Structures are given as C-alpha cells and as structure tokens.
Amino acid sequence: MSMETLEQLSRRLHVGPRTLGSWAKRGELPGAIMVGGRWRVKSRIIDRWMLTVKKAIEYREPSSLPTREEISKWLDAPPKTELEREIKVKLKKRMAREEARLPRGR
C-alpha cells in the first residue's frame, strides 16, 4: 500500500503539514498512522476521502447553499471540535478581508 508523508499530502490538499499533523493526532485524518515517530497516510484512503468530500460538495444544489446570515450564525455558535474551531477562525479572517475590500456606500 502506498504511503505519503504529511509534507507530500499537504501539497496535494493545499493544507499545511502542521495542520495535517494536528488532525492526525486528534484522529480526524483518515488513514493516518505513526511510522518511526512520523505521521504517514495511506494514499488510497485519502483518495477515497477526497472523492467523498468532492461528491458532497458537488451534490449541493445552488439554492441550498447557506446565506451570509446563516454562515454568520454558524460562526457565532460554539465549535464542536478543534477542527471546526480552526475552520471558523480561518473563515472569519477571510470574510473580514473580503468585507474590507467592498466599497462603502454613503
């Protein structure tokens, strides 16, 4: 079975290796195992996981996408996991940057 390092996987997923290491340590990265003191991930399991995520994203109807208000409400709710907390922090920063770029109406 083919194995990848977190550095290799980070290039594929565009997620930092330290973030992937945190996910692996918390058991949130499928196919992750410790080999010789370093995390490795099983490529086939990651491929299936990525396909599942892609299908879930493609399945959503455009009309079912959350509104900005729904996203804000979700962001204000307490996170259920450490991964959700990290996602919320990054999304809040991104939304703040986008809002700063919008022209102000007067």
Q: What is the pTM of this model?
A: 0.53
What proportion of the chain, given as a percentage, has pLDDT over 70?
Answer: 87
Q: Model confidence at 59, in pLDDT bands (50, 70, 90)? A: low
pLDDT of residue 20: 92
**Domains of the chain, earliest start first:** 3-62 (3.90.105), 66-101 (no CATH)
Quote the CA–CA distance of 85 and 106 in Å, as a whole number.
35
Which tokens go with 56?
A: 């879930």
Tell me the pLDDT tens digit for each residue of 20-44: 999 999 998 898 999 999 999 999 9
10 Å Cβ neighbour count for 32? Answer: 22
User: Nearest-CA neighbor of 84 among 94, 74, 93, 73?
Assistant: 74
